[in-house]
Amino acid sequence: MAPIALVTGGARRIGARIAHTLHERGCRVLIHYRHSEADAVALADRLNGLRPDSAATLRADLNDPDAVRDLAARALDHFGGMDLLVNNASSFYPTPLADAGDDDWDALMHSNLRAPFLLSQGLAEALARDGGGAIVNIVDVYAEKPLAAHPLYCMAKAGLAMMTKSLARELGPAVRVNGVSPGPILWPEQGGEDQAAILGATALKRAGDPDDIASTVAWLALDAPYVTGQILAVDGGRSLTLAGA
């Protein structure tokens, strides 16, 4: 049977490219979304046009822990199992120390850290069932070297990086857990970073493409049976010089 993959935040941008790439590799994909219903449905329709009954959409608010647990249950029910979890969904915006509030903490910690943990918790047994399951977390280069005025985001992603390593130990050998840390791939819809300066700081002097992330996720999920507990920087060499921004 074709592997079953759940991609959170899979309706648009990098998440959609991950879902499409995994589908090309033969997976059945579950596309999670919160607000982007039209994009999610359009993507699922395109994928089902290529291979019938190979894609579906699931809505959930990742800030709500009960909704996250329900998402895991619905994902398991849809195709009758789970082989791959891609924790891609993320919130990103500045939270300077003087201005950060409880709502900011909830929005950034829940989507970037708690939801991936709860989904991993809810799907771990199914992922382990045939001894070949995988989790791939989309981390960030700023998990290691922080971005100015974004402490909550950086803290959440640092937690996700440690979760990746911790779960690799706990869930092995049945489930492999790895991460991908994107550099400048698609500029965030919020935030005002100096794009030219960031590109100039990469060894390759250019932005990446969503395919760079999607192909790395697919490799870790499907082609790397002896790789676990690793976080691969796909950043054009940005992390070689990054000392905070």
Contact between residue 115 and residue 8 where contact means Cβ atoms under 8 Å apart: yes
Classify the phi-psi angles of 191: left when phi > 0, otherwise alpha if psi is within -120 to 50, otherwise beta.
Answer: left
Cβ–Cβ contacts within 10 Å for residue 211, how many?
14
* Known active-site residue 33: no
Tokens of 189: 């819809």
Q: In 3D, which of 213, 224, 144, 141 has the Cα closest to residue 181?
A: 141
3-class DSSP assignment, residue 138:
strand
Name the strands in the sheet holding 175-182, side by side, starting at the edge strand that comes first in the sequence. Answer: 55-59, 28-33, 4-7, 84-87, 133-138, 175-182, 231-234
Residue 56 has phi, psi (to 5 degrees) of: -155, 165
Query: How many Cβ atoms sit within 10 Å of the Cβ of residue 226?
Result: 5
Please tell me whether the peptide bond between 52 and the residue prior to it is cis, using omega within 30 degrees of 0: no
Q: Kindly name the residue from 33, 93, 142, 153 that is annotated as catalytic.
A: 153
| 189 class by beta-carbon count within 10 Å (0-12 exposed, 13-18 middle, 19+ buried) | exposed
| CA dist list (Å): 231 to 5, 9, 85, 95, 126 | 20, 20, 15, 25, 23
**Where in the sequence numbering do the catalytic residues fall?**
153
